[in-house]
């Protein structure tokens, strides 16, 4: 019979055989963030719709076309979060985190929702690792946040990832730039798509981010923001470049980067790859010094980034990066008879209390199916318990990799004996690995 209900378009299931990939990136991202002094924050999946309209920008594709907005009787209008920063800033303001001394540094791993055209690396429900730093306007902070993102990408093993940086200035110099863009695009207004024609007066920088090939061709010769930066923004950008160079982080200045959300100011950056098609940005971020003020707080500088985990995993698989292996079963206890089952229960409980991964038969199968199952789950060792083993107080411990069998007590010394066998196996594996290195290098 055919499945009557399937997953919604643009979503993905993570089945147990693939979850180890997610465990890898979640572990590396969170541990790296903590090493840089960032602490985890968790926020609701949905927020008041006005939060995203005010922060992301009413002229952006996100607000105009992509948000999932819901209502319930007696409630306000809510929107499933399309990105992480706005909700995190709201939470930091509402809970007084921004009053606890600067800089405040937080990170998160969360799901986001956008009604987009589905393709490789672009889903309607996707996941982001993000970091936000609040309370510093220094270009040192810009370099630090970029360094954190790069460290994550390095630690997951990505290669051929390029960092592009730009400055989109402050409100003062951007006003002059907006005027220059209006004059440039107005001359070809009739050739622009309908959306860009509407944006021309409200936010002409959005035209630079349009996905229409025709509009991209027109934008190719548009004025560059770097030519309109005020002295302070120029100095900030030059310092950032100096700091990145001092940290050994290679970069390319790309004056066409504007990012897709309106809250950005000054520094914007992207880490990009050409290995997953059109959706090549694996991480993007920058500075948003006016966002907290826009949400009702005091004017407070802030910056951060978001890293799409689905895109990150795509590149990792493409480049055959290493993933953390799932933990294997240390011991499988096969049983014959009710007395053996009771003994298996006590042994399993004792070993699990010591931190071992132990399984036993839960399906009431015969010995042969149990042994096949133990092999299928990759159990390191197997014990078969029956009446004879219970009576003698001893059983055969089988190493599934080597086939070697040893007698092991089922009494008080069982845990110590099994622990020793696990240690022996670990050192045997290390010796084999070192022997391979010595043989390879001839040392």
Please indicate, yes or no, whether residues 103 and 33 belong to a single structural domain of this protein: yes
Reading the block at residue 74, the tokens are 């007696």
Where residue 299 sits, what CATH number does that domain have? 3.30.930.10
pLDDT in tens, the chain (443 residues): 677 899 999 999 999 999 999 999 999 999 999 999 999 999 999 999 999 988 888 767 788 889 999 887 777 899 999 999 999 999 999 999 999 999 999 999 999 999 988 887 789 999 999 999 999 999 999 999 999 999 999 999 999 999 999 999 998 998 899 899 999 999 888 899 988 888 888 888 888 878 788 888 998 899 999 999 999 999 999 999 999 999 999 999 999 888 766 788 999 999 998 777 666 899 999 999 999 999 999 999 999 999 999 999 999 999 999 999 888 999 999 999 999 999 999 999 999 999 999 999 999 999 999 999 999 999 999 999 999 999 999 999 999 999 999 999 999 999 999 999 999 887 775 555 545 544 444 44
Torsion from C-alpha of 140, 145, 147, 153, nearest 10 degrees: -170
Q: What's the count of helices (H) and strands (E) in the chain, helices before strands?
A: 15, 16
**Main-chain phi, psi angles of 384, to 5 degrees:** -105, 120
The verdict on residue 178 lying in a domain is no
Containing structural domain, residue 415:
331-419
Whichever domain contains 360, its CATH number is 3.40.50.800
Give the pLDDT score at 430.
52
Same domain, 153 and 272: yes
| Rounded CA separation 154/161 (Å) | 9
Question: Is residue 262 one of the residues assigned to a domain?
Answer: yes
Q: Given the structure tokens 């004792």, which residue do they identify?
A: 350
Separation of alpha carbons 68 and 82, rounded Å? 8
397 and 350 housed in the same domain: yes
How many whole angstroms separate alpha carbon 189 and alpha carbon 193?
9
Q: Is 191 helix (H, G, I), strand (E, B) or coil?
A: helix
Domain total for the chain? Answer: 2
Measure the CA–CA gap between 193 and 28, rounded to whole angstroms: 42
Q: What are the DSSP E strand ranges found in 281-392?
A: 281-287, 302-308, 331-335, 358-360, 381-385
Count of Cβ atoms closer than 10 Å to residue 11 Cβ = 14
pTM of the complete model beyond 0.85: yes
Please name every residue paired with 408 in a beta bridge, in sequence order, or none if there are none: 395
In a domain, 439, yes or no: no
Domain assignment of residue 42, yes or no? yes
Statement to judge: residues 44 and 165 lie in one domain: yes
What was the pLDDT predicted at 200? 87
Q: How far apart are CA 409 and CA 350, in angstroms?
A: 14
- Enumerate the β-bridge partners of residue 134: 104, 302
Single residue among 296, 318, 340 that ends a domain in this structure: 318
The encoded tokens of residue 31 equal 């541990």
435 found inside a domain: no
Could you tell me if residue 190 is inside a domain?
no
Same domain for 297 and 408? Answer: no
Q: Which residues contact 17 (CB under 8 A, 6 or more apart)?
A: none
The torsion angles phi and psi of 366, rounded to 5 degrees, stand at -75, 175
For residue 216, with 0-12 CB atoms within 10 Å meaning exposed, 13-18 middle and 19 or more buried, which class applies? middle
What pLDDT was estimated at residue 124?
95
Which residues make Cβ contacts (< 8 Å) with residue 127, sequence separation at least 6? 109, 110, 111, 112, 308, 309, 310
* Together in a domain, 376 and 260: no
- Do 336 and 314 share a structural domain? no
- The pLDDT of residue 434: 47
- Could you tell me if 195 and 183 are in contact, meaning their C-beta atoms sit under 8 angstroms apart? no
Question: Do 368 and 245 have their domain in common?
Answer: no
Provide the 10 A C-beta neighbour count for residue 172: 11
Is residue 305 domain-shared with residue 369, that is, in the same domain? no
Q: Is residue 153, in this structure, part of any structural domain at all?
A: yes
* Residues 142, 279 share a domain: yes
Q: What are 171's two structure tokens?
A: 């409100």
Q: Establish if 324 belongs to a structural domain.
A: no
Do 154 and 75 belong together in one domain?
yes
302 and 386 together in one domain: no
**Closest of 37, 34, 70, 39 to residue 52, by C-alpha:** 70
End position of a domain, from candidates 292, 318, 344: 318
């Amino acid at each position: 019979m055919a499945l009557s209900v399937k997953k919604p378009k643009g979503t993905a299931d993570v089945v147990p055989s693939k979850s180890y990939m997610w465990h890898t990136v979640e572990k590396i991202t969170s541990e790296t963030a903590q090493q840089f002094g960032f602490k985890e924050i968790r926020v609701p999946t949905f927020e008041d719709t006005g939060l995203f309209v005010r922060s992301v920008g009413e002229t952006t594709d996100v607000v105009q076309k992509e948000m999932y907005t819901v209502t319930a009787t007696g409630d306000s209008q809510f929107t499933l979060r399309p990105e992480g920063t706005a909700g995190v800033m709201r939470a930091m303001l509402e809970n007084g985190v921004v009053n606890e001394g600067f800089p405040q540094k937080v990170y998160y791993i969360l799901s986001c929702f956008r009604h987009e055209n589905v393709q490789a690396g672009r889903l309607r429900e996707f996941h982001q690792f993000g970091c936000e730093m609040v309370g510093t306007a220094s270009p040192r902070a810009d370099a630090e946040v970029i360094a954190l993102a790069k460290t994550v990408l390095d630690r997951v093993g990505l290669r051929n990832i390029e960092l592009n940086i730009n400055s989109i200035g402050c409100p003062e110099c951007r006003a002059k730039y907006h005027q220059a863009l209006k004059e440039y695009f107005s001359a070809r207004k009739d050739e622009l798509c309908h959306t860009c024609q509407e944006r021309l007066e409200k936010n002409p920088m959005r035209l630079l981010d349009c996905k229409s090939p025709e509009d991209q061709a027109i934008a190719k010769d548009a004025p560059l923001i770097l030519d309109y930066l005020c002295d302070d923004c120029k100095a900030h950008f030059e310092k950032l470049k100096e700091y990145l160079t001092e940290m050994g982080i290679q970069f390319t200045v790309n004056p066409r980067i504007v990012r897709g959300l309106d809250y950005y100011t000054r520094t914007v950056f992207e880490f990009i790859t050409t290995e997953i098609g059109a959706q090549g940005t694996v991480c993007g971020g920058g500075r948003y010094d006016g966002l907290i003020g826009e949400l009702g707080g005091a004017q407070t500088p802030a910056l951060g980034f978001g890293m799409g985990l689905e895109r990150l995993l795509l590149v990792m698989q493409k480049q055959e990066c290493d993933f953390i292996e799932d933990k294997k079963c240390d011991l499988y206890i096969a049983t014959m008879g009710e007395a053996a089952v009771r003994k298996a229960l006590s042994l399993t409980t004792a070993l699990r209390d010591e931190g071992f991964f132990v399984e036993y038969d839960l399906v009431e199968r015969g010995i042969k199916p149990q042994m096949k199952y133990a092999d299928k789950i990759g159990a390191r060792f197997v014990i078969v318990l029956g009446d004879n083993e219970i009576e003698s107080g001893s059983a055969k411990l089988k190493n599934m990799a080597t086939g070697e069998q040893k007698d092991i007590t089922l009494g008080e010394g069982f845990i110590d004996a099994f622990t020793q066998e696990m240690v022996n196996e670990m050192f045997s594996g290390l010796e084999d690995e070192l022997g391979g290195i010595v043989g390879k290098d001839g040392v």
